[in-house]
């Protein structure tokens, strides 16, 4: 029996690539010199798209694949997939929830620690000889006992909030509604501006949708304020990057730690000159163990689909 044809939109680690190549006839969109020619030659036979959180699959691509049955996303966020276009055609969509939650939460809390304790500065202080030449580095900010806001109490937001308990932080959160599985000590604050106002650090952990675009705008950013910190591990689109840059430049926001950006991987060059800004290259889930689990789950969803078994982690 011939192997199902898969359009591979994003590059995967070698271990995932081998498994995919063994099970499917894989057409590599990401390295095709002529993507039109690839579609012309194979588009009619392609039954699955294998993609990632950043690249997804838009309506135009979905529309070019008449035999498409499933889109498997290597990532929990599927905002880059046109889910409406897929479900209108009965195309299934899967993602990789749960397996990456701890890693993303670890990085979020790590970025807070790094930002407030000046860990990057401290490293440079030793390496550059400033310690020996000038003495101790400037005093930094205490983390333990602070007030944290978690904007979006989904899986990742909850994992962040749980970790903050270990730092004796006061935790409040915003979600569409109070969450039954929130810990009793976590206060529900419906209004994001109010949440920001009462937070020393605001974690942006909400799933990105059209409705959440730039939801962390000037008003929320300025409510975090000149002594506050914003940590974003969700999607760049959830934050108004222009407003964030202006607030950092003018001191209306104390600091930010960003793992995600509006235009990845080409970040706005103005960010590079902003004070008190910690940058990471969208690496929240990027540990070997987690990426292996994500690759396995992506593959298992595809394999289940073609074997006629229930999908493991369907979105639709």
SS3 168: coil
Determine, following the binding rule CB under 6 A, whether residue 54 of this chain makes contact with ligand 8YV: yes
Residue 8 binds ligand 8YV (CB under 6 A): no
Site string for ligand 8YV, 271-310 (x = CB under 6 A): -----------x--x-------------------------
Q: Does 75 bind ligand 8YV (CB under 6 A)?
A: yes
Residue 69 structure tokens = 């049955």
Report how far Cα 46 is from the mean position of its chain's Cα atoms: 28
Stretch that binds ligand 8YV, among 42-50, 69-77, 150-158, 242-250 (CB under 6 A): 69-77
Q: Is 238 in the site for ligand 8YV (CB under 6 A)?
A: no
Contact yes or no for 202/228 (Cβ under 8 A): yes
Q: Does position 222 bind ligand 8YV by CB under 6 A? A: no
Residue 74 engages ligand 8YV in binding (rule: CB under 6 A): yes
| Contact stretch for ligand 8YV (CB under 6 A) within 52-60, 191-199, 263-271, 303-311 | 52-60
Task: Output 76 or 230, the one with its CB closest to ligand 8YV.
Answer: 76
Q: Which residues are catalytic?
A: 235, 264, 282
DSSP 3-state of 139: coil
User: Nearest approach, Cβ of 281 to ligand 8YV (angstroms)?
Assistant: 10
Cα separation values, 304 from 21, 44, 258, 295, Å: 16, 22, 36, 14
Helices 119-127 and 101-117 cross at an angle (nearest 10°) of 60
Please give the full DSSP string across 37-86, using - where no structure is assigned: HHHHHHGGGEEEEEEETTT-B-HHHHHT-TT--EEEEESS--TTB-HHHH
49 backbone dihedrals φ, ψ, rounded to 5°: -110, 130
Contacting positions for ligand 8YV (CB under 6 A): 52-54, 74-77, 100, 282, 285
């Amino acid at each position: 029996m011939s192997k199902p044809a898969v359009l591979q939109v994003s590059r995967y680690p070698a271990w995932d690539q081998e498994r995919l190549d063994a099970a499917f006839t894989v057409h590599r969109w990401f390295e095709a010199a002529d993507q039109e020619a690839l579609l012309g030659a194979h588009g009619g036979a392609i039954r699955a798209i294998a993609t990632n959180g950043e690249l997804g699959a838009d309506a135009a691509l979905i529309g070019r694949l008449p035999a498409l049955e499933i889109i498997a996303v290597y990532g929990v966020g599927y905002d880059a997939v046109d889910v409406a276009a897929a479900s209108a055609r009965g195309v299934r969509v899967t993602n990789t929830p749960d397996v990456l939650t701890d890693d993303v939460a670890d990085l979020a809390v790590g970025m807070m620690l790094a930002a407030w304790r000046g860990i990057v500065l401290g490293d440079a202080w030793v390496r550059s000889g400033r310690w020996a030449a000038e003495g101790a580095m400037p005093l930094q900010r205490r983390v333990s006992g602070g007030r944290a806001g978690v904007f979006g109490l989904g899986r990742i937001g909850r994992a962040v909030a749980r970790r903050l308990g270990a730092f004796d932080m006061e935790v409040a959160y915003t979600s569409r509604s109070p969450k039954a599985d929130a810990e009793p000590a976590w206060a529900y604050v419906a209004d994001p501006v109010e949440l920001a106002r009462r937070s020393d650090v605001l974690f942006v952990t909400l799933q990105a949708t059209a409705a959440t675009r730039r939801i962390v705008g000037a008003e929320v950013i300025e409510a975090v304020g000149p002594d506050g910190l914003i940590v974003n591990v969700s999607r760049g689109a959830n934050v108004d990057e222009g407003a964030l840059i202006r607030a950092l430049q003018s001191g209306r926001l104390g600091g930010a730690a960003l793992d995600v950006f509006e235009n990845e991987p080409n970040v706005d060059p103005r960010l590079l000159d902003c004070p008190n800004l910690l940058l990471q290259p969208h690496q929240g889930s990027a540990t070997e163990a987690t990426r292996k689990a994500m690759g396995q789950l992506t593959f298992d969803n595809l394999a289940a689909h073609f074997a006629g078994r229930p999908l493991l982690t369907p979105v639709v």
